[in-house]
Each structure stands twice: as structure tokens, then as C-alpha cells.
Amino acid sequence: MNEEKIIRMNMETDTNHTHNGDDKPILCLGIESSCDETSAAIVDSDKNILGHIIYSQIPEHQKYGGVVPELAARAHILAVDEVIKLTLQQAGKTIDDIDVIAATAGPGLIGGVLIGWMTATGIANAKNKPLIAVNHLEGHALVPRLKSSSATDSATNINVEFPYLLMLASGGHCQILLVHNVGKYEMIGQTLDDSAGEAFDKVAKMLGLGYPGGPIVDNRAKLGDSKRFHFPRPLCDKPGCDFSFSGIKTAARMLLDKTPESERDEKFINDFCASFQLSVVDCITNRLTNALHDERVKQAQPKTMVVAGGVAKNSAIRSAMEELANKFNMMFAAPPMNLCTDNGAMIAWAGIENYKIGNIVKEPVAPRPRWPLTEL
């Protein structure tokens, strides 16, 4: 993929771009299709979500125990037009009312990304609207700044200002980042092998609990005893902020192999999930504690600690991070539950944030299966 093709004009903060000529908020249509959700949303620059449709393909992939890229691409093709139409209907808008079109241009499963991106490009060209190439990870990273009117707990009500310390944990990524500004990310630590979401998914699969594993393990863990089994905490005795989850996965496999089928009752599964989840929580708090002592972080003085990505739905991770933030006199912020896993609103919001600083596509863009946040 040709990076030069992604032209991002950096005009720095041009606040005149927050409202259109009539002083009405800017309306952005965002499209997400990088994994197993086809989603669209209309978000305005005053942080209102006017329409939001998430078509989840999870039932189509469940029997395979994970996402099958070809099936996902086909399902995106079949769904994308209808999802956009329903989103416009829900918002009571037509495409002519929309000021900006944004779509995920990577990273992700390239078949799906292409479908959302080509759809957005087609609409933007046909209607002569500005187009924003959104990095999916930036969608996760910035959505905590989109305060939702449906906010129910204090963590979703925080006004998140730059710079902030971000724990980005999804199915594909596990990173600690300093978010300096839109498009300005500094990597503090990242996983050397699996992501946290992958660890949840793989352990759930081993236990025969289904896909995706994160929410199932989370629910089981609430019923279990987290002290019954001991799983390793890889790298936690070492300095630095990197993660490793493959050792926890291997330990889970070994524990399962030595437990006869007859002993794998409900209590065993619940205790297993609780003990496994505690090891992931401990790794996250250990690595974040090191990040808070990192010179780069100390110098930036972030006031808020933020969690985002699908794994941010995890109740134990949210509360452990909130406790850690309090200990360090920081605020804690997290997106509302429906904006943690993949969704169109985070893409529309990242579209608005990029539009405000003039990051508008000027030439055809080639979507990218890999696109690290540090390469924006």
C-alpha cells in the first residue's frame, strides 16, 4: 500500500471548521467495516449522535469460532448500503444534509475495509463532499472525547482533553499510548505477541464458551473465585510497559489439559475465568504503573487515564484502572459500553476531529491492512 497516497494536510487547529457557514454544527457520516461489524453513524461537531446503526456479523462467524475474512467481506457488501440508509433515516437526514464523509481506511481485514472505503469514496465523489480517511485505531482512541448523551457512569462523563494516557485494548491491538493531539500518538508500550482481546477469545474457545470470548469470560468471572488458580503475569517483574499474553494462554491450556473432563463443572469454569481475568488485569495495572513513571509520560503530564477498544467493556479492567488513576490523582475516562467495540460513531467522531484540523483526502487513498497510530 502506498503511504504517500494518503494525503493528510496538517493545518493544525483551525477552529473555524467546527461549524459550517450557517453556524450549524458540522454533520459527519462515518462508516466502519474493518472487522465483523458493518456500522454507520451520523455525529455532529457538538458531540451528538443523531443516527447509529451497528450490524453485527457475530452470528455468521460464531460457528467457526472466529472471524472468517471472506465471509466478513461478503456480509459487508450485502449490508453496507442498507446500514447507511437506515442511519440517515434514524437521524432524519438525507445525504445532502451531510457535510463530511468519513470511513475506516485501515488497519483491518482488507476485504471489509475496501468495501466501506470505496462506498465512502463513491458518496463523497458523487455528492462533492470532503472525505476523511480514518485510522480505525484513532477511532477507538478519540471516541472517549465524544461524550454521549446516554452516559450512565462517571467515567463516560469526563471531558477528555489532550494529552491523555491511553490503554488501547482491542481484538487486534494492545498498546499504551500518549495521545498528544489528533494525529499525534507516542507509543509507550505494546504487546510482543497476542492482544488482550485475543487472549480472552482464545481462553473462551479452549473452554468451549463460544465467540467472542471477552464478554462471556467477563460474565463468568463475576461468578468465580479469582484466587483459586494462579496464572502467570508475564513481564510484570521486568521494567518497561510492554505486554505479553501468550504465556497466560499456555498456562490456561496446561491447566485445562490436566483437569479431567468430569471436574470441569460450572464452578471450575467460573473460577478459571475469574483467575485468568485477574492475571490480565494485573498485567494491565502493572504496565500502566510503569508508564506513569516513564519520563515521557511524566513530562507530558496527562491529567486523564483512558481505556478504549473492545476490551474496555471489561468491568474488572475498568474498575482496576479507575482505582489506579485515583491513586495517581488522575481522572479516569472510558467510552460508554456501546462505543467500546467497533462502531460507526467512533469513525464519524474521528472524522470530525480530523476535519477540524484539515486532514482531508486530496487524492485517491489506498486502504491499508496495517496502519500503526504512530504513522499518522
Q: Is 104 an interacting residue with respect to Zn ion (CB under 5 A)?
A: no
Residue ranges in 323-342 that form contacts with Zn ion under rule CB under 5 A = 342
Residue 25: count of CB within 10 angstroms of its CB: 17
* Smallest gap from residue 73 Cβ to Zn ion (A): 17
Q: 294 vs 342, which CB is nearer to Zn ion?
A: 342
Which 259-318 positions form the footprint of ligand KG4 (CB under 6 A)?
309-311, 313-314
| CB 307 within 8 Å of CB 257 | no
Burial class (CB in 10 A: 0-12, 13-18, 19+), 308: buried
Residues in the chain: 376
341 lines the binding site for ligand KG4 (CB under 6 A): yes
Residue 170 vs 359, nearer CB to ligand KG4: 170
* Nearest CB to ligand KG4, comparing residues 197 and 302: 197
What string marks each residue from 189 to 228 as x (binds ligand KG4 by CB under 6 A) or -? --------x--xx----------xxxx--x----------
36 binds Zn ion (CB under 5 A): no
> Whole-angstrom Cα distance, residue 76 to residue 111?
9
Closest to Zn ion by CB, 251 vs 333, is 333
Contacts of 262 (CB under 8 A, 6+ apart): none
Stretch that binds ligand KG4, among 41-49, 64-72, 170-178, 361-369 (CB under 6 A): 170-178
Supply the minimum distance, in Å, between the C-beta of residue 30 and Zn ion: 13
Look at residue 215 and give the partner it binds from ligand KG4, Zn ion, none, a contact being a CB closer than 5 to 8 Å depending on partner kind: ligand KG4
Query: In whole angstroms, how close is the CB of 308 to ligand KG4 at the nearest point?
Result: 8
Q: Which does 311 bind (CB under 5 to 8 A by kind): Zn ion, ligand KG4, none?
A: ligand KG4
The three cell numbers of residue 206 are: 479452549
Residues 321 and 286 sit within 8 Å (Cβ to Cβ): no
Binding interface with ligand KG4 (CB under 6 A): 35, 170-172, 197, 200-201, 212-215, 218, 309-311, 313-314, 341-342
Residues that bind Zn ion (CB under 5 A): 170, 342
